[in-house]
Structure 1
Amino acid sequence: MAKAKGTVFFCQNCGYESAKWMGQCPGCREWNTFVEETVVTGTGKGSGRKTGNPHTAAEPETLSDISLSEEERTSCGIRELDRVLGGGIVEGSLILVGGDPGIGKSTLLLQVCQRLAAAGKEVLYVSGEESLRQIKLRAARLGEFTDHLKLLCETDLDTIEDVIQKKRPQIVIIDSIQTMSIAEVSAAPGSVSQVREATGILLKLAKGLNISIFIVGHVTKEGTVAGPRVLEHMVDTVLYFEGDRHAAYRILRGVKNRFGSTNEIGVFEMESDGLKEVTNPSRMMLSGRPEDASGSVVTCAMEGTRPILIEIQALVCHSNFGIPRRQTTGTDFNRVNLLMAVLEKRLGLQLGSCDAYVNIAGGIKIMEPSIDLGIAMAVVSSFKNRAVDGSIIAMGEIGLSGEVRAVSMIKVRVQEAKKLGFTCCIVPGVCRESLKDIEGIKIIYVDSVSEAMDLI
């Protein structure tokens, strides 16, 4: 049957398909997200595509016949990555890794290939962006590689599919999904239809052949993976690599995980010979902390099951302009404005005519409300130019009435502070029962923000 070309419109946010352009997407209700693409209709190679073993007619099963045994996982040899994945790589999973250009996505995955190949796993690294020589030059600074790692430089997904079915590797890396193309789809590589169809084929390969596939995705200026939003819905796990590419530290964050928690993070440091794990992020975040400086307070945030001690820095000074300037780095701008309004209303501080700058040291982003008390104490410390004792750590959520509310996993936070040598901890008063067994550290309970500020 002859193939016919047609024009359709895709929503870049959710993948909704329409025969005509629309200002608002009926699927996700977003505005101005439709793009025009040319597609090929008719019978072709895609209609006869098969992956894995041929199936007989599908039969439904009852809940009682389904086993609840743990998924078989493979350790990738990098503990921080295993933590984010929920304990290791699940066989047959499709994992999307996104991040800014130059952040270290390819370096991290090449190190994963190195560890897995050293463990005897058959690994296939498919690159659509670099030549074999370029990959060899990058791999030379990472150390020795075994022959279990195979390299393929190809952008045609039909060819890649044939190689995967022939070689049957256990792990496949696709770098990147935006460079892959399918001959049946006439759109350019990286377009909505190409990315969606390529991901669908890789998903069938992963499930049909029971192999784990990592795909690298570029991000847009808004920080989301380029291509249709449906791409993130199709994969099993979505990981984002965060951080400034000019800085040393990187944060690997899981935003979707069908096989584990989505709250875990992995911390890495970029060095000349690749990415190194940071096993104690708290000590790293507090390194170089000034002593006897106003506006500096230590607090504790939870990332999944991991407590991380961070330094909050605030600088409050009189404004020379009619409208004071407020700026935040590493935390929510609106949350800081809310806390300053609470301080002005409940404590009578004249902050309305002051510029305020709040920074989370170390380049990490924290949005947890448990750092509210630390932010408020840092702002008041800078405003009054009085330093907070360096052995004190503060944590708690602040309400609009000025009350200090409880935070989750308070015992784990206090134990982490004790382990790192802090001698005094300021916590919400409602946490007395949870911390009655803690010894070796002084605990001060506060019920309102005014009680906490009296300690400065």
Structure 2
Amino acid sequence: MAKSKTVFVCQECGFESLKWMGKCPNCNTWNSFVEEVAVKSDKNVILSGNNEPKCIVNIKSGEHERYNTGIGELNRVLGGGLVKGSLTLISGSPGIGKSTLLLQSADNIAKRYGKVLYVSGEESEEQIKMRSDRLGVNSNNLFVLSETNMDVISLQIEQIKPIFVIIDSIQTVFKAAVSSAPGSVSQVRECANEIMRIGKSKGISFFIVAHVTKQGELAGPRVLEHMVDSVLSFEGERTEEFRILRTIKNRFGTTSEIGVFEMEEEGLLEVSNPSNVFLEETNFKQEGSIVIGIMEGTRPILVEIQALVSETKSVMPRRTVVGIDSARLNLILAVLEKKLKIPFYNCDVYVNVVGGLSIDGTFADLGLALALISSIKNKETKLDKMIVVGEIGLTGEVRPISYCERIVNEAEKMGFINIIIPERNIGKIKASKIGAYGVSSLREAVNKVF
């Protein structure tokens, strides 16, 4: 017979306690414990002959079968398409366009491969129909279900037999056997387990929508991220037209690819050439503005970085950064003060990456440093249509970067005529029309540009 007991579960990290606590000892969150009933079963485990350990030599391997979503940017982020039987978790701020993207991909898959089931726990069938009319979604193989009971959803999946299922969202789905409220740690964990069992046993691909916290992180237990095969993050501002789809985890591809979309009235439109979009309104002869080259997965992207340095009387000057790691900015400022004797201690510093793109890595170091110098000195660059790329070390040297040749080719294709790159990358650049200048130190780069 099943035994039940009362436990208190943290709704942020899933930590369990026998008594209520004001502060979670695991994640240090206040007032996050909710009382739940834990049920333990006394049933004996029955071993099945079909589920036995196998020798790894005898297990067949091969490429996973993938579905073409009909959206090139989404295929790129997923590693080439949606893998059959995979579980993908997608998160993003409210109104960012998650449901729009999934409805468009569901329509494309339904037209190409077979039945698709869209399960919504937040909207009625009529609301989804209104959106589908606006997006031009009209496939006969696309079915819509407004339901939050996981047992009913499982039954409908058994009857319809779809190849692709969308759950929007995991926080609204519940299992009747679990006494806690929908969205709680126990409910999310149990529903995710049920979805994983259906997907892996029947070869059905799942897209699971998840809510985010005020800090932009995935809401719910961390175990949800470990259970799924891929985790996607939809970034951007509701007031801006561009959206960035980024991979956080992917068992079937790289995690460094991004997809760029533009929000229009007829839905999300993929941007196949992000460099052209990010540089559309760039003024190449402007103080504090430098065009840099970065790599996002296998794709070179050119983007404008802007810096504004203004003198302040405040004891603690401001350091405001959008799109770049603040720790990296502080490192660059320290190198500029130490090696070039440029004072920033009495100045407010503002840095922005145009287009809403977030830059990881060290590709932007040299461009950021030159943008800061251009702003504080009120100087424009001497070179016309210039692009800058390079990493800065703590001693002021300019270190080489990877994939430099791809960035040079992208810059030449976009019409740039000058590029500043690390000296050690010059030998790897093939002959091209663009003028490549190699620099080995930060001071040498400043003399070349200004």
Taking structure 1 as the reference length, what is the TM-score of the superposition? 0.93
| Structure 1 residues 255-266: aligned runs within 5 Å | 255-266=248-259
1:188-267 matches, cutoff 5 A: 188-267=181-260
Out of 397, 405, 408, which is 2:399 matched to? 405
Q: How far apart are the structure 1 equivalents of 2:237 and 2:99?
A: 16
**Shift in Å at residue 40 of structure 1?**
4.5
Paired residue total: 445
For residue 6 of structure 1, what is the aligned residue in structure 2?
A: 6
Structure 1: segments with no counterpart, 5+ residues? 49-53
| 1:406-445 alignment runs, 5 A limit | 406-435=400-429, 437-445=430-438
Provide the C-alpha distance between the structure 2 equivalents of 1:87 and 1:348, rounded to a whole number of angstroms: 49
Report the identity percentage.
49
Paired residue type of 1:431: N
CA distance in 2, matches of 1:179, 1:24: 26
Q: Encode CA deviations 1:185-214: one digit per residue, 9 max, x unaligned.
A: 111110111011100100000001110011
For 2:65 and 2:147, locate their aligned partners in 1 and report how far apart those are by CA, in whole Å.
Answer: 30
Q: Secondary structure at the match of 1:454?
A: helix
Does the 8 Å contact 1:427/1:444 carry over to 2? yes
- Does the alignment pair 1:395 with 2:386? no
8 Å Cα contact 1:8/1:18 also seen in 2: yes
Give how far 1:314 is off.
0.9
CA distance in 1, matches of 2:227, 2:15: 14
Query: Contact 2:121/2:147 (CA < 8 Å) preserved in 1?
Result: yes
Q: Confirm whether residue 138 of structure 1 aligns to residue 138 of structure 2.
A: no
Q: Give 1:429's aligned amino acid.
A: E
> Aligned partners of 1:354 and 1:426: how far apart in 2?
27
**Aligned mates of 1:147, 1:322 — CA distance in 2:** 65
The aligned counterpart of 1:51 is none
Match of 1:115 in 2: 108
- Worse overlay, 95-104 or 343-352: 343-352
Say what the alpha-carbon RMSD is for the aligned residues. Answer: 2.0
Deviation string for 1:37-56 (max 9, x for gaps)? 31242559xx89xxxxx963
Q: Deviations over 1:268-294 (max 9, x none)?
A: 000001000000000101110124211
Q: 1:3 to 1:322 in 2, by over 3 A?
A: closer
Asked if 1:452 corresponds to 2:419, the answer is no
Distance 2:227 2:40 in 1: 25
**Letter matched to residue 64 of structure 1:** V
The aligned counterpart of 2:266 is 273
Letter in 1 for 2:18: A
Question: Which ranges in structure 2 are unaligned for 5 or more consecutive residues?
Answer: none
Is 1:30 aligned to residue 27 of structure 2?
yes
Check conservation: 2:300, 2:406, Cα contact below 8 A: yes
Q: How does 1:377-392 map to 2 (within 5 A)?
A: 377-388=370-381, 389-392=383-386
Determine whether 1:183 maps to 2:180: no
**In the aligned structure 2, how far is the partner of 1:413 from the partner of 1:39?**
57
Q: CA shift at 1:244, angstroms?
A: 0.5
For residues 42-94 of structure 1, the C-alpha deviation after alignment (integer angstroms, 9 at most, x for no partner) is: 559xx89xxxxx96342322222222311011111001000000001111111
- Distance in 2, Cα, partners of 1:237 & 1:346: 44
Alignment of 1:314-333 (within 5 A): 314-333=307-326
The C-alpha deviation readout for 1:320-339, integer Å capped at 9, x for no partner, is 33332221111112211221
CA 1:24/1:261 → structure 2, altered by over 3 Å: closer, same or farther? farther
Aligned partner of residue 432 in structure 1, secondary structure = helix
Question: What's the offset of the Cα at 1:25?
Answer: 7.0
**Matches of 2:138 and 2:17, distance apart in 1:** 48
The answer as to whether partners of 1:120 and 1:148 remain within 8 angstroms in 2 is: no
Residues 10 and 37 in structure 1, CA contact (< 8 A), matched pair in contact too: no
Distance 2:444 2:207 in 1: 51
Report the CA distance between 1:117 and its aligned residue: 1.6
What is the match of residue 79 of structure 1?
72
Say whether the 8 Å CA contact 1:117–1:145 is kept in structure 2: no
Change (3 A) 1:30 1:438: farther
Residue among 73, 97, 100 paired with 1:104: 97
